[in-house]
Amino acid sequence: MLCPYCQNERSRVIDTTHDTRGGVRRRRECLACQQRFSTYERPILATPLLIKQDGTREEFDREKLIRGIRISCAKRPVSAAEIDRLIGEIESALQAMGRSEVSSRVVGDMVIAGLKELDHIAYIRYAIVYLGLDDLTSIRGEIDRLLEN
C-alpha cells in the first residue's frame, strides 16, 4: 500500500474494523513520514450483466450508479455516507441473487425504493427520468402518492 503523502510502500496497520458487507477498513501509519491514512478493502464479487430495455447487455457499473444517484441528490441533505450505503445495499442484493443476468429495471426499482426512503425530492428527480414522468400531471400524481404515505 503506497502512502498517499510520500508514496512509500511500507506502512503498519494500527487498527482494523469490519463492516456488514464484508469490507475491511484499516487505519495505517507510514513508516517513512509517520502520516496516518485509512484504506478500505472489499471483496470483488461477480455482479450480473444488466439487460437494458433495448435488449443489449452491459456490465454493472458502480460508478455510473453513483453518478445517477448523486445527480438526483444534488443540493439535498443526503450525506455521501448514505449514498454509499444505498449503493452498497444495491450491489450486495444483486450479488446475492446469484444470477448471471438481470433486468436493468431491477436495479432502477432498487434505486427508486432507496431514494424514496432517503429523500423525497431526490426520489422525484430520479423518478422523472426513470419512470418517464413527462408532464406536470404525472409528476403531480407521483407527488400526491408520496404525500399520502
Confidence of residue 44 (pLDDT cuts 50, 70, 90): low
- pTM as predicted: 0.67
Residue 107: CB atoms within 10 A of its CB come to: 20
For residue 71, pLDDT over 70 is answered with: yes
Quote the DSSP letter at residue 73: T
Report which of residues 65 and 96 the model is more confident about.
65
Mean pLDDT across 112-137: 93
Residue 56: φ, ψ to 5°:
-75, 160
DSSP strand pairing (101-103 vs 49-51): parallel
- Say if CB 25 and CB 16 are below 8 A apart: yes
Residue type, 35: Q
Instruction: Give the relative orientation of helices 120-130 and 62-72 as an angle to the nearest 10 degrees.
Output: 120
